[in-house]
């Protein structure tokens, strides 16, 4: 299904970002709402994954505002999503720094699970509990990674960015994304098997 500046795919609107940004720059600021609608979900996931917790909505709102004010400097032809997620990550860091607090794994898990039914209708409760335990162990292992390894895993898998988008969002060369992701996945695999990585 077509919308004014995009198409609907699998229940989400895919926006022609370049066309929308051109409209905003041409004096149609209300067009920015299309970008906000298209990217709010991933921006909220990014804020939560980066540790914003209860401040995630405020972080995302501020990030969208900063992105809007910086559209004049946005590079034509670049992807909007990685650029926005970089702003979200920076805004989350600023929020955490100014609040002077770090979030616990349990709090992050609660935020990531917010809005999802604990046991889907018709599901086997034993399977649901096993999934919940697997998710808890994954988040604990993710939290144990160093900041750079955690960031690359979050961007590639939780935020579903491809390799090029991850490189752009993190400001790293693609080779760095590959090597850090490889090491991070190896550490996660070791942690999830209950072993310890040496060296």
Confidence category of residue 101, pLDDT binned at 50, 70, 90: very low
Span 48-84, pLDDT tens digits = 888 888 899 999 999 999 999 999 899 988 899 999 9
pLDDT computed for residue 99 by the predictor: 65
Give the tokens for residue 31: 């067009």
pLDDT computed for residue 26 by the predictor: 94
**Could you count the other beta carbons within 10 Å of the beta carbon of residue 175?**
9
Beta bridge partners, 12, equal 9
What does pTM read for this prediction? 0.65
Distance CA 80, CA 5 (A): 14
Strands 12-15 and 6-9: antiparallel
Task: Out of 11-15, 16-20, 186-190, pick the least confident.
Answer: 11-15
Span 114-144, pLDDT tens digits = 555 555 555 666 776 777 788 788 878 888 8
pLDDT computed for residue 95 by the predictor: 85
Class of domain 1-103: mainly alpha
Q: How far is residue 103 from each of residues 33, 69, 150, 188, measured CA to CA in Å?
A: 31, 29, 14, 20
């Amino acid at each position: 299904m077509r919308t004014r500046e995009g198409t609907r795919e699998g229940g989400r609107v895919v926006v022609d970002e370049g066309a929308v940004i051109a409209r905003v720059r041409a004096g149609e600021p209300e067009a920015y709402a299309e970008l906000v609608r298209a990217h709010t979900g991933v921006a909220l996931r990014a804020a939560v994954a980066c540790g914003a917790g209860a401040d995630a909505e405020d972080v995302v709102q501020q990030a969208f505002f900063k992105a809007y004010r910086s559209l004049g400097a946005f590079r034509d032809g670049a992807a909007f999503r990685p650029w926005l997620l970089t702003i979200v990550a920076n805004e989350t860091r600023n929020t955490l720094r100014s609040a002077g607090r770090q979030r616990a794994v349990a709090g992050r898990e609660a935020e990531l699970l917010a809005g999802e039914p604990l046991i889907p209708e018709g599901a086997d409760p034993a399977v649901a509990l096993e999934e919940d335990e697997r998710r808890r162990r994954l988040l604990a292992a993710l939290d144990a990674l160093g900041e750079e390894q955690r960031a690359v895993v979050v961007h590639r898998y939780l935020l579903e960015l491809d390799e090029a988008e991850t490189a752009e969002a993190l400001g790293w060369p693609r080779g760095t994304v590959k090597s850090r992701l490889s090491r991070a996945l190896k550490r996660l695999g070791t942690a999830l098997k209950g072993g310890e990585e040496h060296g």
